Structure 1
């Protein structure tokens, strides 16, 4: 049988040229790429965070007044004035002082409370509810209740001291005691959040570590120092960072309970910003103080992150 003649290139059928694809509209490409899902968040983020941040930065470079005057560009004059303002340093010192006396008990008490509940106390649901319930209360309610408890003449705390034969204390009127009263109120109100973080971390510690330690004859204190606390280092770092940031931003309870008194002994830097901007009407100067305080908060956060990363690298 004769072989079929070979097909030459000239006789081979030519493929049809593909029609050029239609141009895809821009809105369809955005929709297919997933940006449409991010667009609502980006709009809200830009409108309520980026724009106020940039606008506040611009205000800090001007002499804008709340009553409508000023608005001229003054450069870094507001920052130079803030750095030489004794009240700024005084309120910053009050903020650091409150941060120190509130952060330490808020971390230690939360850890102790979590250890007690995790140890198997009867009625654990009641303990958890009791420890966490104050955190759910509004700040106004907490501040007004403790303000009544700390009243000098008829307050519950001084009435108890009088029943014990002790003299009353000016909890909110004595400059040496007022900040401690605010710290006690804050600890009672917010320790429940840190308690939950520690309790969740304790429940994630592997049981076989305790079983192996018990077989080796380790006691309760040995297991606490050798197993529990090392396993909680990461949680402790998170709790410390969150608590430092929260304490440095204190405003509400101080504004309600003492309004910065007595003699500005409890005035934090944010309350001073409020007084400068909304009582003294110097919006530009108040914005400059705010950005200086923001720089301090960011520096503290970065230092804590660096310290945590260094400790992890040394393990």
Structure 2
């Protein structure tokens, strides 16, 4: 009896020791990622908030704690609110259009065959270009004097439109360039999600003579709902950080109609050297994107 109890105790001890060893190994594998996460994400986040509470110059040693004065100044900054509106307008154009276009392309090119494989590669290829290459291409297309569209309009007797120089056309032009550039990644995500839907369901719908619209609404969209929410959240976060297109194509013009919040942060911090004020804007942008993303994820989980 005593030896049996001893064996049970030894087995429990070995199990406890093995479980502790597994936890230690798991944390050792997690440690490199955790270190990178803390150094490059968590620390800059809290450091940026701390800097936003100061009158902090980029060059020199001037550091003065002013509390929430930068945030009060933001409330009265007309240009800041204009950049917020511009960024929200840009996101309201690109996010739904990007999602719908990516889904349409995924439905069109997910079929088997060499031709569709080539088309998938063509549509995805634009997403690997840098923003400088994308803006160079689209400036050659949209330039009001020597652009491709300007020459095309002249050839048919129509006065060219300065797409990047007119307030009405500037923001839609940036949106078109962004759609061409960024549609590849969400398309690939939608293709991966569509491939996870069992084909038996489509075959059953075909036997029931279901229309394409009913198949899309009753089978396809519910089957990729989680990916749909993921694409929306990713696109909201990406489009609210739009910077390179406006900086390289319009420089925020005309009349600040395309100046985005990230561009304003860059100009304030590295042109005007007001790092504290720029950090306050960055914190506001982070809170805005985080709130929108959480609402989107909450709505998706609520539907589940």
The TM-score, its normalising length taken from structure 2, stands at 0.88
The partner residue of 1:144 within 124, 136, 154 is 136
Gaps (5+ residues) in structure 2? 1-19
Larger mean CA deviation between 295-304 and 46-55 belongs to: 46-55
Measured against aligned partners, the alpha-carbon deviations of 1:202-222 in whole angstroms (never above 9, x if no partner) come to 111111111111222223333
Distance 1:37 1:201 in 2: 29
- Residue 299 of structure 1 is matched in structure 2 by 291
Kept in 2: contact 1:30–1:36 (CA 8 A):
no
1-side partners of 2:279 and 2:96: how far apart? 30
Distance 1:292 1:68 in 2: 26
Give 1:120 shift: 5.2
Unaligned ranges ≥5, structure 1: 1-28
Paired residue for 1:160? 152
User: Are 1:115 and 2:99 matched, yes or no?
Assistant: no
SS in 2 for 1:63: strand
| In 1, Cα distance between equivalents of 2:28 and 2:21 | 6
Aligned match for 2:175, one of 158, 166, 183? 183
Could you tell me which residue of structure 2 aligns to residue 257 of structure 1? Answer: 249
The whole-number CA distance in structure 2 between the counterparts of 1:39 and 1:92 is 38
Mapped partners of 2:110, 2:292: distance in 1? 32
The match for 1:279 is 271
CA distance in 2, matches of 1:41, 1:119: 38
Aligned pair partner of 2:97 in 80, 98, 105: 105
* Residue 203 of structure 1, aligned match among 195, 207, 210: 195
CA spacing shift, 1:121–1:30, aligned 2, 3 Å: closer
Distance 1:161 1:70 in 2: 55
**1:1-315 to 2 correspondence within 5 Å?**
33-34=24-25, 35-68=27-60, 70-119=62-111, 123-312=115-304
With 38-47 and 263-272 compared, the bigger mean Cα shift is at: 38-47
Matching residue of 2:17: none
Whole-Å Cα distance in 2 between the matches of residues 91 and 208 of structure 1? 49
After TM superposition, which residue ranges in structure 1, 4 or more long, deviate above 6 angstroms? 29-32
Structure-2 separation of matches of 1:198 and 1:40: 31
TM-superposed CA distance for 1:121, in Å, is 7.0
The count of aligned residue pairs is: 284
